[in-house]
Amino acid sequence: MKNVVVVGSQWGDEGKGKIVDWLSSEADVIVRFQGGHNAGHTLVIDGVVYKLRLLPSGIVRKNKISIIGNGVVVDPWALLDEIDEIKSKNVEVNSKNLILSEAATLILPFHKEMDEIREDSAGKSKIGTTRRGIGPAYEDKIGRRSIRVMDLASENNLDKRLDVVLNHHNAIRKGLGKTEFKKEKLKKDLLNIAPQILQFSQPVWKKIDELKSQNKKILFEGAQGVLLDVDHGTYPFVTSSNTVASSAATGSGCGINSINYVLGITKAYTTRVGEGPFPTELTDEIGDLLGTRGKEFGTVTSRKRRCGWFDGVLVRQTLKISGIDGIALTKLDVLDELDEIKMCIAYEINGKKFDYLPASVDDQFMVKPIYNSFKGWKSSTVGIKKFEELPENAKNYIKELEKFVETRISSISTSPERNDTILIQDPFNI
């Protein structure tokens, strides 16, 4: 029995939804351990499209337990809306198959407003957030003033906690010339939905320990990608949580010894949403082609993703930082029509060569990529399920990619459909 952590090895949007759904057929438990409803996973099962934001991907499968860990920040209204949406597609959601950590921090309306205020006032320095209150909620968590799921169980405690957090936020709002946020309506609204939220609430660390003792296979599902990690990403153009694999332990309370295998979802090219450095970005017709063929629009925001060549330097770096054991290579079929395909193998900054991305954002914006070029295969790879059946040039590209990033490719995705996957190594059975 192995427990597997799935993380994105780039800037997110690598196709984790399909891979997690594919793996969840073998897992017993699926755990979300960080992020919020700013990150979306799109699943396509038997022609039905499911767009998930907070709910773990396993929720669409029968006889699976889905867990939202303490490391996730939860907009309670968004969660209830998502549950209603998924139920409308004949998916059962109840307290037996969905568990929400009692220690998870809540995203409240003033968090979203603060997100919007900051982005609107930042001008050219804006981060490119999804404006859903994720960052401000994490700030309150670290500042020890957040409202957590458990606080909904006591009106007296909720009242006190709201005083603490609004004292902080209203001081900032006043300084920015904004009206103060009133407590009473928010308190009433929270108490109104408290029973619906609390029915899913449990001490997640205890539940996971129980499931481990039963030898259940646990799949830990990350949001975004390692390059958006608040410590290891392209700071300050990052998210507000740690997106690396080790966060699965912190964000669920399972203990680091619970992790047996780390799978890095890696797109065969590169995309990024929002602001920030992007060394291999293509603003020409090839970039447009990748965006069109790859349907590169955000699940949550519908924002168009920036597209570029595969950046081997960055992926090699994130694989080492996150301790990734194997790669699930996705969207290979998007490259099918190209005459030439490039891979970034080094950087140049002011005439100096680098084999990694420097931490300074100024340096990151000055990076010039150095490429290796490969011949395209000019034929369809859609639906291929055996490596031997891939075009020769596609096999050459994959082998060189694997060699450069120094990590084994465990699977290759050849379409959005979950069964269109070349399985080389099963993470649960190694």
Tell me, what's the pLDDT at 21? 80
State the catalytic residue, choosing from 21, 37, 41, 232.
Answer: 41
Tell me, what's the pLDDT at 75? 97
| Catalytic residue status for 120 | no
For the chain, how far is it from start to end, CA to CA, in angstroms?
9
At 54 the three-state DSSP class reads: coil
Residues near 307 by Cβ (< 8 Å), separated by ≥ 6? 269, 270, 271, 281, 282, 287, 288, 290, 291, 294, 296
State the catalytic residue, choosing from 13, 21, 151, 420.
Answer: 13
Cα–Cα dist 342/351, whole Å: 21
Match 């568990």 to its residue by tokens: 99
Tell me, what's the pLDDT at 102? 98
Summarised one tens digit per residue, pLDDT across range 81-93 is 999 999 999 999 9
**H or E element, residue 6:** strand 4-8
Tell me, what's the pLDDT at 309? 98
What number is the average pLDDT over the span 379-396? 96
Summarised one tens digit per residue, pLDDT across range 24-73 is 889 999 999 999 987 677 777 777 888 889 999 889 888 999 999 999 99
What number is the average pLDDT over the span 219-242? 94
Tell me, what's the pLDDT at 226? 97
What angle in degrees, to the nearest 10, is found between the helix axes of 134-142 and 109-122?
110
| Catalytic residue status for 81 | no
Tell me, what's the pLDDT at 42? 75
Tell me, what's the pLDDT at 96? 94
Report if pTM > 0.75: yes
Cα–Cα dist 179/399, whole Å: 58
Cα–Cα dist 366/215, whole Å: 50
Cα–Cα dist 268/399, whole Å: 12
Give the rounded distance of the alpha carbon of 341 from its chain centre.
26
What number is the average pLDDT over the span 335-352? 97
pLDDT category of residue 388 using cuts at 50, 70 and 90 = very high
Tell me, what's the pLDDT at 126? 64
Average pLDDT, the chain: 92
Cα–Cα dist 41/43, whole Å: 7
Summarised one tens digit per residue, pLDDT across range 282-304 is 999 999 999 999 999 866 666 78
> Whose CA is closest to 72, among 107, 112, 40?
107
